[in-house]
Structure 1
Amino acid sequence: MEPTKWLTHDEHRLWRSYLDATRMLFQDLDKQLVRDSGISFADYEILVLLSEAEDRRLRMRELSDASTTTRSGITRAITRMETAGWVRRVECESDKRGAWAELTDKGAATLADAAPGHVTAVRSAVFDALSPDDITVMAGAFTAIRDRMQERRSTT
């Protein structure tokens, strides 16, 4: 077994700053969305994913894999969002065990109403703190991290 390759001081600083910033960002975005639109950050993310999907619907498993919500959390969120009229479950004809979550017109309108305040909060929390060069470097770095993680997932 190879010895542990510990993080350098700068790597540790970056890692902790990333974790802290991500946690605080999610908390702040959730507070803003709840305060201004009555919708949680997790629900907003689900509505965005459905709005971007073909026919505005995804399998429940795909939705869980694409979001920051667990599979059991997706089930609870979709139930809550069904009650609000934002999504509907559609039985999967090719697999009777599976179901689609489909964005309704009311859900799309809810997303459209929440989006301007959310984008303003994202810009204020993230992009206003960065230079154009920072954005370019960070976009490249996070794309590389994401691509590496996706590659690892596809081989396991």
Structure 2
Amino acid sequence: MSTTETAVADVDEAWASFQRLRTQLTGRINRELTQSTGLSEADFDILFALDESEDKSLRALALRCGLDWEKSRLSHQLRRMESRGLVAKEACIEDARGTTIVLTDAGRAAIAAARGCHAAAVSRYFGDVLSAEQLAALSSISSAVLERLAEDAPEPVHGR
């Protein structure tokens, strides 16, 4: 096998391993989160972003861009969460065309409960398994890939 063929095989093997890891780890954490708190991963992501914001609210556009979601996905998810009382939609003061998503009291309680469950699962399946050196290597790898993704990111389409 040539050096090029070996390199391609190594990339393919690493990619396949990463895909299995990502799928199984995300699935396991999501199942535990849903069983313990009733929140989906999408619920958690939105509630977490809102809870981390200074005034517990974000413009829908900022939320969508921060999550890197399509407009329709966010709209559907927010509709479901609003019907459960986790978030509320308000008119945006700065831009009458925009919407501000606000964390409700029920949303605050839900994310508070979910943070502990999520942190415990991440620790159990990720943090407790990897050494300090492996965590540092993974952080470095993630940064390198994220930098490439940022370099190659398409120009945003207005209104998307």
Q: Which has the higher contact order (CA 8 A, sep 6+)?
A: 2
Counterpart secondary structure, 1:115: helix
How many percent identity over aligned positions? 29
Q: How much does 1:69 deviate?
A: 4.2
Number of aligned residues: 152
For structure 2, the residue ranges without an aligned partner over 5 or more in a row are none
Residues 101-128 of structure 1 show CA distances to partners (whole Å, capped at 9, x for unaligned) of 1112321111111111111111122122
TM-score (norm 2): 0.84
- Bigger shift: residues 22-31 or 58-67: 58-67
For structure 1, the residue ranges without an aligned partner over 5 or more in a row are none
Q: Is 1:150 aligned to residue 154 of structure 2?
A: no
Q: How much does 1:60 deviate?
A: 1.7
Partners of 1:99 and 1:83 in 2: CA distance: 16
Change (3 A) 1:120 1:68: farther
TM-score (norm 1): 0.86
The alignment's C-alpha RMSD in Å is 2.1
Partners of 1:36 and 1:65 in 2: CA distance: 28
Partners of 2:36 and 2:68 in 1: CA distance: 22
Change (3 A) 1:38 1:135: same
Residues 90-109 of structure 1 show CA distances to partners (whole Å, capped at 9, x for unaligned) of 21123222111111232111
